[in-house]
Structure 1
């Protein structure tokens, strides 16, 4: 066995993990805590992470706001830029109850420069995302979705143009905090490929649910909430150098 130590809330904590050569899943060794990106490493990172969900799980009941926030993010847009854009639209009442904001007004708001980490920047894809958000808000008003079952909610959200399985899972996680879905973006996929939880022959969105089942099984095997694990992986993988995160 191996023992991991860490400071949690100002106090020394320790826990026992299986030997490094034991398998978490077939073909996936635990590795050691000091072995960056190993299952043991992610176990320690997730168990000691403060505010692991980064404030993205709000549970405030405003599904329209969550849909808008997630549509503003995605490939080519940093989390910081998406957050600044969302705060702009929220301040202008785009997601408030009774709002009838159209694509033109949303586009006008997204076109204006944003302040991100002290710099003035322009939001990427303002026209595309303004149309998607406006259409999504109309659909949510006209065809309310069921929110009691996380996977059913995801399926219904995927009827909205521009929302695929990853974005729908992101919305579900933010809105419900559910561990029944996983947010499989490129950072999570790469982390799982490094550990050999995922292989290389991946086609999305075709393989999303298969990979999600593997990820959720992995999270259960290491004793970590999926909602915490993918948030920690996302936070670390996007900052680590490519030579460390490049899959085998």
Structure 2
């Protein structure tokens, strides 16, 4: 048995975790709670976060149209700060109000350089994203989207141009605080490769649903919400690229 302890506002909280050598999934050990990035480490991190007064908040927008815009403008080679800047820029211009802007108007707005700190940055793929965003906003404006589960909303979003599993999952998880889907990207894939909870040879592009099933199985096994596990893994893996690449090299894994 391992004991995890966290201090919040001078108060100590403790919890027992399984022995490091016991299996969390067939062939996968729990590992040490202090050993990044074992399953036990992630279980401890989620539990420790839950002791904080401010819970995780996933929503980026105040309406579904805004959430679609925020997620569609990010990802796929777009740095997080650039995607959020583009979202804020379009929001200020009224792109997510009741009247859906034309594709041409959205492209014109996205072609305006963005101010990020002291830098001026141009948004990549302005023409392509304007087309996808117009279609998505028009569909949301018509209504009829399901909100009873993350999976149902994701399946609806997948029918829209330019929205794949990752973006659709991101929107659905954020908007519905859903736990029946997962947002999988390179950071989650690397974490699974290092901890051993993903089968080898799988890629997000070709095996999204199989990887998602394995991720949800891990979440259930360590008894944490998939949405929180997903968010914490992404943030920590993204924040420590040199550490992650060093670990991948140590175990002979490619920087997938």
Query: CA separation of 1:52/1:73 partners in 2, compared to 1, >3 Å: closer, same or farther?
Result: farther
Alignment of 1:184 with 2:184, yes or no, is: yes
Q: Name the SS for the 2:239 alignment partner.
A: coil
Query: CA separation of 1:119/1:58 partners in 2, compared to 1, >3 Å: closer, same or farther?
Result: closer
Gaps of 5+ in 1: none
98-107 vs 67-76, which moves further: 98-107
What's the offset of the Cα at 1:8?
Answer: 3.0
Q: Provide the aligned C-alpha RMSD in A.
A: 2.0
| Structure with larger RCO (C-alpha < 8 A, sep 6+) | 1
| Of 240, 243, 247, the match for 2:246 | 243
Contact 2:61–2:70, Cα closer than 8 Å, also in 1: no
CA distance in structure 1 between the partners assigned to 2:14 and 2:112 by the alignment = 50
Q: Name the SS for the 1:33 alignment partner.
A: coil
Query: CA separation of 1:120/1:142 partners in 2, compared to 1, >3 Å: closer, same or farther?
Result: same
TM-score by length of structure 1 reads 0.91
Aligned residues: 245
What's the offset of the Cα at 1:91?
Answer: 1.1
What's the offset of the Cα at 1:52?
Answer: 6.5
Query: CA separation of 1:35/1:233 partners in 2, compared to 1, >3 Å: closer, same or farther?
Result: same
Contact 1:19–1:31, Cα closer than 8 Å, also in 2: yes
Q: Name the SS for the 1:75 alignment partner.
A: coil
The residue number in structure 2 matching 1:56 is 58
Query: CA separation of 1:162/1:94 partners in 2, compared to 1, >3 Å: closer, same or farther?
Result: same
The aligned runs of 1:78-97 (5 Å cut-off) are 78-96=79-97
Contact 1:31–1:38, Cα closer than 8 Å, also in 2: yes
Provide Cα deviations, 1:102-122, integer angstroms capped at 9, x if missing partner: 122212222222222443222
Query: CA separation of 1:69/1:245 partners in 2, compared to 1, >3 Å: closer, same or farther?
Result: farther
Query: CA separation of 1:114/1:162 partners in 2, compared to 1, >3 Å: closer, same or farther?
Result: same
TM-score by length of structure 2 reads 0.88
The residue number in structure 2 matching 1:76 is 77
Provide Cα deviations, 1:154-187, integer angstroms capped at 9, x if missing partner: 1111000111111111010111001111101111
